[in-house]
Amino acid sequence: MRLLRSLWDNLFDYDRPETPGEVAFFRLFEGFIAVFVIEQVWRWGLYARRLDVLAVPHGLGQYVDLGWLLRHDLVLVNAAVITVLMGLGLLRRSRYAYLAAFLLMHLQYVARFSLGKVEHGANLLGMTLLGLSLGLLLFDAPRVQRRFTLGFTYFFVGLGYALAACSKLVGTGLHWADGRHLWLWIQEKGIDGWAQTGTLAYNALQELVLSAPGLATLFLALGLLAEASAPLIWWRRYRMPVLLALIGMHAGVYLIMGIQFRLFVLELILLALPWSAWIDRWIAAGRSSLWSGFIPRGHPHPAKGSPPGSPGKPMP
């Protein structure tokens, strides 16, 4: 019970006072999610409109025929509706807007990824949007909504990485970290590049790894350890170092394998660094005009020593 209480307090901690920096950061984080949801659904729509059938349906598409999405440019209509809904949610015009956008985003996801590899960033973006929608639906107090959304996101980031580590161990065991596996993957990527460009070339880091099996094993072992340690982000004390380790892991994957996790890493950077504390210091130094539009009217200034904000009025 003590462990569960500690976990709950570190993920949500609804009773802890909220600072103006936390409010401002959340609005920036929410804006980031809104912008990239809109960008993704339009990109998916422009791709999916060229498809004739849902080759390998995912999610809801496994149970319901969603082939009609590919007719009459409905994927573009869906993207336009999602754009409007994200705007309504961001402006707090409707507490149901984010949930509707999430459901329609899933349809867009099914249409796009019926062909091609599913992007990791798409899954993280969708889970964060689900957290936003549940926060607005389940709670009236804005402070609690914000705390729930971030706690929900941290929980599923930690769980997702832990499950990724478990799947590697279940599939291959501890031998997954054998450096010869990394050699194989580098060679496979090299062949892909050869097919595209007609040349077979490796960068300096790839050549170093291919010449040092111990180093290749070390890289894989550190990556596996970073993933397995991900549940530690459920506790504030370990959040930043573990998330930075995961960001470093993704940087290594990009440098060695050429695989990008652009959206995923951008969100991890937002979740890892103490942006709210930096904003509070900026405000306390007297440079608060930049953040005034992000902080609700009446929220106390951190430099004045008054306890941070009230939960606020219920949403209509």
Instruction: Please tell me the distance from the alpha carbon of residue 114 to that of residue 133, in angstroms, as a whole number.
Output: 25
Banded model confidence at residue 290, pLDDT cuts 50, 70, 90: low
**What per-residue confidence (pLDDT) applies to 192?**
75
Six-digit token pair at 229? 């340690």
Helical residues (DSSP H) of the chain, grouped into ranges: 2-11, 20-48, 74-90, 97-112, 120-138, 142-172, 179-197, 204-211, 213-228, 236-257, 262-272, 275-284
Output 199 or 215, whichever has higher pLDDT: 215
Mean pLDDT on 234-247:
96
End-to-end CA distance of the chain: 36
Length of the chain equals 316
Residue 59 in this model has a pLDDT that exceeds 80: no
Residue 263 · residue 247 · CB < 8 Å: no
Q: Across residues 49-74, what is the average pLDDT?
A: 81
pTM: 0.86
Residue 48 pLDDT class (50, 70, 90 cuts): confident
